[in-house]
Amino acid sequence: MSYTRRQILGGLAALGVAGLGAGGVRYWLGRPASVASHDYELIAAPVDLQLVPGHLTQSWGYGAQAPGVELRCRQGERLRVRFINRLEVETTIHWHGIRLPLEMDGVPYVSQLPVKPGEYFDYDFVCHDAGSFWYHPHMASAEQLGRGLVGPLIVEEREPSGFRHERTLCLKTWHIDEQGAFTDFLVPRLAAREGTRGRLTTLNGTPNPTLDLPAGQVVRLRLLNVDNTVTYRLNLPGGEARIYALDGNPVEPRPLGREYWLGPGMRLDLALKVPEAGQELSLRNGSLRLATLRGVASSEVPGQWPPALPANPVAEPDLQRAETLRFNFEWAAMPSGDVGRGGSYRYWQINGQAWDINDRTCAERPIATLRQGGHYIFVLRNLAQYQHPIHLHGMTFKVLGSDRRRIVPYFTDTYLLGKNETARIAFVADNPGVWMFHCHVVDHMETGLMTAIEVV
């Protein structure tokens, strides 16, 4: 296919950028008439972070921060982002969970050419669905996401949702040592197991921060797992919290319960009744504290639980006439430690095929070809003892059921397929293109657990 819209960056002055770093990034929440071509300028560039006190981590960030600057738009509106690459490596941006045209999907050699150092690319698409989404590169992912190229994309509801307060909370566990230096993002023997875990857990780039929240108010907490590997087992002991959306898609509000497992790439929108001033809650991953949530005096009248969020305009699959396809996620047949063509490790496969991240032609051999407008049921079977957050690009699917847990059917873009679990999902193939279908544990994806689904 031919690619368009990739542009050579003709010097930053021509773009009206005052300089690199935080001061050089302009972004708007509104739609200024004076800006003809884009709403945001998003710069990827090296940025030094102090994740470990007294030490600098040579991170890569969007908008001079990592996790990156929060992008926002309103449901039904266009989002236009001029992405400027000031790194020394090629990169792209994928908009996780957004249903958009293929040429905006950010997959190198599938939907666009890589954006080279010093180039820019204009991403431009309509956000049909409201919710909590995120963005990240889709090449050299273990390193690029690992170094900090991850950021939130919030699509606000068309009408006010009833939440007066909200916070975006990005979870990431950094691959750094005690001096803040990066360690390996992908250790082969770990990639063949649960994935390569980082060491330092952070919320919005800070280990165990204290967040001040208005006492007595109901606050929307948008929790985003932007990590390469870790599934966070979220719990909030003693807290009064309700789930309002999963992975950007509204659900009938229900109590958080004992624990919610948020796999890589997944999001959870919680409503929290903030405790009295001076009282604290502990947001935890299992028994590890992620953040302290502290009530501070508020002059507002006490908040009420908002109504359920309005459903997104996702087509309802018709199960009576749906065609069923089966996908097995399993270890590759090659012996552990073996290296495939191009030097990439291959530990994982889908229906007997391991994706080779160094082979640009893989996407020319989609594992399934779907009819545009057709209805499909996918049976996802995990033959391994490690869990896989299975993510589909371009379309939102409905989770129907599982042999391991009770499922209230819901729409999502990522399903956390537990060890040895079989789950059923369904969707209408309403977006033409070649769409990546992969595990979002980045080192599983980079060692084979990825494929392409074609819709024609």
Q: Binding residues for Cu ion, per CB under 5 A?
A: 388, 439, 441, 444
What is residue 289's three-state secondary structure? strand
- In whole angstroms, how close is the CB of 419 to Cu ion at the nearest point? 11
Q: How far is the CB of 96 from Cu ion (least distance, A)?
A: 16
* Main-chain phi, psi angles of 444, to 5 degrees: -70, -45
Identify which of residues 42 and 416 has a Cβ nearer to Cu ion in the complex. Answer: 416
Question: Do residues 214 and 300 make contact, with C-beta atoms less than 8 angstroms apart?
Answer: yes
CA distance 407 to 293: 30
The CA angle 411-414-420, to the nearest 5 degrees, is 110
Q: Which is nearer to Cu ion, 161 or 447 (CB)?
A: 447
Residue closer to Cu ion, measured from CB, 81 or 362 = 362
Output 273 or 388, the one with its CB closest to Cu ion: 388
Minimum CB distance to Cu ion, residue 196 (Å): 12
């001076």: which residue's tokens? 278
Residue 254 CA to residue 268 CA, distance in Å, equals 12
Find the shortest distance in angstroms from Cβ 388 to Cu ion.
Answer: 3
- Cα–Cα dist 64/46, whole Å: 8
CA distances from 120 to 5, 15, 26 (A): 9, 11, 15
Integer Cα distance of 393 and 357 in angstroms:
17
Tell which residue, 434, 387, 443, 440, has the closest CA to residue 413.
440
Q: Which is nearer to Cu ion, 196 or 285 (CB)?
A: 196
Residue 368 C-beta: closest distance to Cu ion, Å: 19
Q: Which is nearer to Cu ion, 248 or 418 (CB)?
A: 418
Dig out the tokens for 271 from the structure: 């409503």
Closest approach, Cβ 66 to Cu ion, in A, equals 24
- Report d(CA 104, CA 121) in Å as an integer: 10
Handedness of CA 194, 200, 205, 207 (dihedral sign): positive
In Å, what is the CA distance from 280 to each residue of 212, 233, 294, 340, 379?
A: 9, 20, 4, 51, 43
Between the alpha carbon of residue 173 and those of residues 51, 170, 204, 205, the distances in Å are 11, 10, 11, 9
User: Would you say 396 and 95 are in contact if contact means Cβ atoms under 8 Å apart?
Assistant: no
**Is 47 or 191 the residue whose CB approaches Cu ion more closely?**
191
Q: Give the list of residues 6+ apart from residue 45 with CB closer than 8 angstroms, or none.
A: 20, 21, 60, 61, 64, 86, 87
Q: Cβ 444 to Cu ion, closest distance in Å?
A: 3
Minimum distance from residue 449 beta carbon to Cu ion (Å): 5
| Least distance to Cu ion, CB of residue 186, Å | 13
CB of 142 to Cu ion, least distance (A): 13
Cα–Cα distances (Å) from 136 to 97, 140, 332, 423, in that order, read 11, 11, 27, 27
Count CA atoms within 13 Å of residue 295 on its CB side: 20
Nearer to Cu ion by Cβ, of 123 and 329: the residue is 329
**Closest to Cu ion by CB, 183 or 385:** 385
In whole angstroms, the minimum distance from the beta carbon of 267 to Cu ion comes to 18
C-beta of 191 vs 368, nearer to Cu ion: 191
- CB nearer to Cu ion: give 73 or 441: 441
